[in-house]
Amino acid sequence: MRLPKSVVLLATCLPFVTSMVGPSFFEFSDKIFQITNTVFDTVTTINNGTTTKDYAFSQMDLAVMHTDEMEGKIKEFNSEEVKKISRILLNEARLKPKITDIRMKQNYLVTYYKDTVKYLRDFDVYANSTFINFATRVLSELPNSVTHMTRSVHQQIVKEDFMDLLLERLRPTGNGYFCEEKQSAQELLHNFFNEILLMNTRSYITVNTAYIFKKLYTKGDFHNEITHAFETLKLQTNNLVAVMKLHLARASSELWRCDPNKHVSGETFIELRHFLRGIILNKANLDPNKACSAECDAFTYRKLPNKCNNDNAWCNNQQPCRKIINCHYIDSSMEVCPSKNINRENRRYEYVKFGNGRVFGKKKNCSTRLTYLATYIYWIVYRCSYCFCICDEYDKYSTERTINLRLAMSNTAGNKVVTGLRFVKHNRIIHLQVQEGKLLPFGQIDLSTVRWVPPEDYSIQNKNYHKNEDYHVFTWEERGVDLADIKAENGTVITGVQFKKVGTRIHLEVRLTPFNFTTGVLKDHQSFIIHDPNIQHKHDSGKELKLITTDIPTRSPFPSTRLTTDKYVQFTNTGYDKDAGQTTVPFFDAQPVESTMPVPLSGVGLFHKGQPGYGGFITPKILTYNFWKHLKAVFPLGRNKN
């Protein structure tokens, strides 16, 4: 008996790289190639009478086991991708009938496949007529035959409008479907196509099992049918991969976090504390001559001495401010509700109510002592009014306004790449922390190695670390952050991120490392650092995202849906009326940005996410790896299988 070549091929077919990685098209592609070639050879030899029934059945059973393994891969990480996608599409009136139809056909195909497996495994308990009937149903040209339904589903999926609507619904916005998933549209689509490929492979097994039954129980020669079925499968599969590549290239690779259901300080967001906030000071304490001769508006920027320059009780009882900005006169009298604890509450005042009825902040029952302040006359002519200013708070021990400038990287010596990002505060320094994972062949990540790399452990008291080099201290003068995406170059993955100070702002840079996609090996010695190439243009004045008179972002009743990138934002105080200017905004979004199934990154970015009227969040973004660039036809074109 002649052993067909590909039978050997399947028997030695390697198991998936490790069980700790997700489904990958590249392994699927190899498997599909091997399984279908084996099935083709088996059915051909049965047809030619050159193999035994038992041997053929055992080969078919092996093919079934290999598809089960593929299914296990998909299920492990993305249970029911197809179902999820159906759910999104079912909300779309134009697609509802189509998707319902696809689902129905899929269910039929699954039933046929289950019968196939049953007959292959227990073929001696069924009557010959059962097999004949089964084969006839599978192969008929009626609308519910396997051949017909497979073709119909395929045609439905490769249609442009189907994918257009799907991609539209997967678009990253601050609400909707995107927020429910920790997968980019590209990843979701990739998995969806893997499921369809698996289904087609199984239907191919069903069809060929039917031919085996026909041969065994009805005799006849099915050479042409068998060849035609294989050619059809090859064409369909290659066509599907081409369509997949096209749509994956269009689909977004962005992944970031929408607003959480509940904002939790230190967990879902972090903020700069004791930095810029409203302060009330009498002109007598602002003016070096204590003369009260200038108007409040004259004090636009001034450093103040450590101590109040006269014995104004209000001034003396307040935590001193060393630098004041943009003072204004509001009214001649006011009642101030100081916060209970300036450090804990991170505010000086709960609210201020002026004599003219205007209220800064949210008026409530003051739990501390209400303080009344009013303009007084000095030397008969000078009106010593209280001004409302912004204080650039400087208190070494309480202020939290430092950001790490040192490189945060994955352990490239251990072949690890960056797979996620999040903002954390450590020793009162804000760090952009990286998640790392070991890179395997075909862009896969070894899940057992995935972890958040601890941020570098230092504080600004450590004399070995230097301001402007190792960390940046935000001040009124230097408080900008550039918002941009940075994309990796072809053939590289991200292995580190860092902030760099440029002028009065900081911007993000990434460390890229070339790698071999097939082997997964990093070429660390060729690593290099890049930044956003458009950085210079952002110095145009129109490039600032201005946060004017905003409220605390976590107070917004609506999720952040206004997304801003390619601009820069400056930290500033909240609005006077909304919050008595007591909070520094924007906040940092501290939710971890990672993919359900960790993947290498093809880019990272920072953007601003908010609602009009609220200070919003500086949010990190990752771009998942562009696997579509590597997609190739499963079956070599214009070449025979041998």
Note the residues at the interface with ligand NAG (CB under 6 A). Answer: 44, 48, 50, 128, 216-217, 221, 223, 364-365, 490, 516, 518-519, 629
Q: How far is the CB of 218 from ligand NAG (least distance, A)?
A: 9
Q: Contact at 8 Å (CB) between 442 and 520?
A: yes
Structure tokens at 472: 């940046």
**Cis amide bond preceding 586, omega within 30:** yes
Q: How far is the CB of 363 from ligand NAG (least distance, A)?
A: 9
What is the phi-psi region of residue 219: left when phi exceeds 0, alpha when psi lies from -120 to 50, beta otherwise? left
Q: Contact at 8 Å (CB) between 572 and 268?
A: no
Nearest residue (CB) to ligand NAG, 44 versus 412: 44
Q: How far is the CB of 222 from ligand NAG (least distance, A)?
A: 9
Nearest residue (CB) to ligand NAG, 2 versus 463: 2
CB neighbour burial string for 371-386, b if at least 16 within 10 angstroms, e if fewer: bebebeebeeebebbb
Structure tokens at 246: 């096209």
Q: How far is the CB of 260 from ligand NAG (least distance, A)?
A: 27
Nearest residue (CB) to ligand NAG, 502 versus 530: 530
Nearest residue (CB) to ligand NAG, 49 versus 557: 49
Helix (H) or strand (E) run with residue 512 in it:
strand 505-514
Nearest residue (CB) to ligand NAG, 128 versus 368: 128
Nearest residue (CB) to ligand NAG, 515 versus 571: 515
Q: How far is the CB of 125 from ligand NAG (least distance, A)?
A: 13
- Alpha-helical (H) ranges within 329-432 are 342-345
Q: How far is the CB of 362 from ligand NAG (least distance, A)?
A: 10
Structure tokens at 410: 């994955």
Nearest residue (CB) to ligand NAG, 260 versus 491: 491
Q: How far is the CB of 490 from ligand NAG (least distance, A)?
A: 4
Strand, helix or coil at 449?
strand
Q: How far is the CB of 32 from ligand NAG (least distance, A)?
A: 22
Which DSSP string corresponds to 547-611? --S-B-GGG-SS---EEE-SEEEE-EEPPHHHHTT-SEEPEEE-S-EE-SS---EEEEEEEEEE-
Nearest residue (CB) to ligand NAG, 217 versus 528: 217
Burial of residue 356 (CB within 10 Å: 0-12, 13-18, 19+) is exposed
Nearest residue (CB) to ligand NAG, 44 versus 410: 44
Q: How far is the CB of 543 from ligand NAG (least distance, A)?
A: 26
Q: Contact at 8 Å (CB) between 321 and 309?
A: no
Helix (H) or strand (E) run with residue 418 in it:
strand 416-426
Upper half-sphere CA count for residue 332 (Cβ side, 13 Å):
5
- Alpha carbon dihedral 232, 236, 238, 240, in 10-degree steps, equals 180
Nearest residue (CB) to ligand NAG, 126 versus 558: 126
Nearest residue (CB) to ligand NAG, 464 versus 490: 490
Q: How far is the CB of 370 from ligand NAG (least distance, A)?
A: 13
Residue 619, phi then psi, degrees to nearest 5 = -120, 130
Helix (H) or strand (E) run with residue 315 in it:
helix 313-317
Q: How far is the CB of 27 from ligand NAG (least distance, A)?
A: 16
Nearest residue (CB) to ligand NAG, 365 versus 461: 365
Nearest residue (CB) to ligand NAG, 40 versus 388: 40
Written as one letter, the residue type at 168 is E
From 255, 104, 134, 311, select the one nearest 624 (Cα to Cα): 255
CB atoms under 10 Å from CB of 17, counted, come to 16
Q: How far is the CB of 100 from ligand NAG (least distance, A)?
A: 37
Q: How far is the CB of 60 from ligand NAG (least distance, A)?
A: 17
Q: CA angle, corner 63, sides to 62 and 66, nearest 5? A: 90
Q: How far is the CB of 537 from ligand NAG (least distance, A)?
A: 20
Parallel, antiparallel, or unpaired: how do β-strands 528-531 and 505-514 relate?
A: antiparallel
Q: Contact at 8 Å (CB) between 313 and 284?
A: no
Nearest residue (CB) to ligand NAG, 79 versus 224: 224
Rg over alpha carbons for the chain, rounded to the nearest Å, is: 33
CA distance 323 to 299: 11
Q: Contact at 8 Å (CB) between 213 and 134?
A: yes
Q: How far is the CB of 516 from ligand NAG (least distance, A)?
A: 4
Nearest residue (CB) to ligand NAG, 366 versus 424: 366
Structure tokens at 220: 């006849």
